[in-house]
Amino acid sequence: MDAAASDSVFVIDHPVIQTKLTELRDVTADHRKFRTLLDEIAGLMVYEVTRDWPTRPQPVRTPLEQTTGRVLARQVTLVPILRAGLGMSDGVLRMLPEARLGHLGVYRDEKTLEPVSYYQKLPPDIAQTEVLLIDPMLATGGSGSAAISFLKKAGVTNMRFVCLVAAPEGIAALHAQHPEVPIYCAAIDRQLNERGYILPGLGDAGDRIFGT
Ligand code: PRP
Ligand code: URA
């Protein structure tokens, strides 16, 4: 894993993830293939994203003797940003099956590129948990920043933003508002185009996942 633009931006450059990301970017990948790849990459990213989470000792009896293992110290909450974040949920949940789920509905206004929040539902005790905020794309950073602001209002202090492709503009904007929130991604792409799409990117993630 590369610590990239700053100490709190991590690029997970694992060869298996990079291979799948390249297949995902391919314009000829249909929604079935796109969904499968996104799900697989999200699951693989969990290993690096959670690498330094705290653990606590837990007694366990093996078939041979009593010993002490280690388990995650805190409960986990997964928060996909709707819609496209849903495409990563199952992959992450396979690795963290005890996690609870919150949902934040945010879309980008196509003209202004400003985030529009339309739905929020979080577990009541989310503030005491480790939170993974997931969305495949960090473009202008508006949607991610709005989601983080909402999580902070709910008392969340331990959170990580996990995306696939990040634009330099989005990283800068998100960290201007929320410098303490680490960003994990599989790639930092070149730039945004005039319509706020990431170049080279992978297109509109939501449309490619859902076939819309
Ligand atoms: C996409 C993506 C992010 C957002 C990123 O969602 O999934 O949420 O754009 O762009 P930003 O960083 O400039 O805010 P979109 O608005 O297309 O909504 P959808 O997931 O419902 O398709
Ligand atoms: N949202 C997407 O889905 N793709 C982009 O390139 C930018 C924002």
- Average pLDDT per consecutive 10 residues, the chain (212 residues; last block may be shorter): 70 98 98 98 98 97 98 98 98 98 96 96 97 98 98 98 98 97 98 98 98 94
Q: What is the pLDDT of residue 60?
A: 98
What pLDDT shows up at residue 5? 47
Expressed in angstroms and rounded, the spacing between residue 28 Cα and the centre of ligand 2 is: 17
**Residue 112 is among the residues annotated as catalytic for this protein:** yes
Given a contact cutoff of 8 angstroms between Cβ atoms, the answer to whether 103 and 60 are in contact is: no
Instruction: Check if 197 has its Cβ closer than 6 Å to any atom of ligand 2.
Output: yes
Of the bound ligands, which one is closest to the alpha carbon of residue 81? Answer: 1
pLDDT of residue 3: 52
The contacts of residue 99 (CB under 8 Å, 6+ apart) are: 75, 76, 77, 78, 92, 93, 132
User: Going by C-beta distance under 8 Å and a sequence separation of 6 or more, which residues neighbour residue 30?
Assistant: none
Count CB neighbours of 40 within 10 A: 17
**Residue located nearest, by CA, to atom 7 of ligand 1:** 84
For ligand 2, pick from 88, 111, 135, 137 the residue to mutate: most ligand atoms within 8 Å of CB: 137
- Considering the candidates 25, 35, 50, 108, report the single residue annotated as catalytic: 108
pTM over 0.75: yes
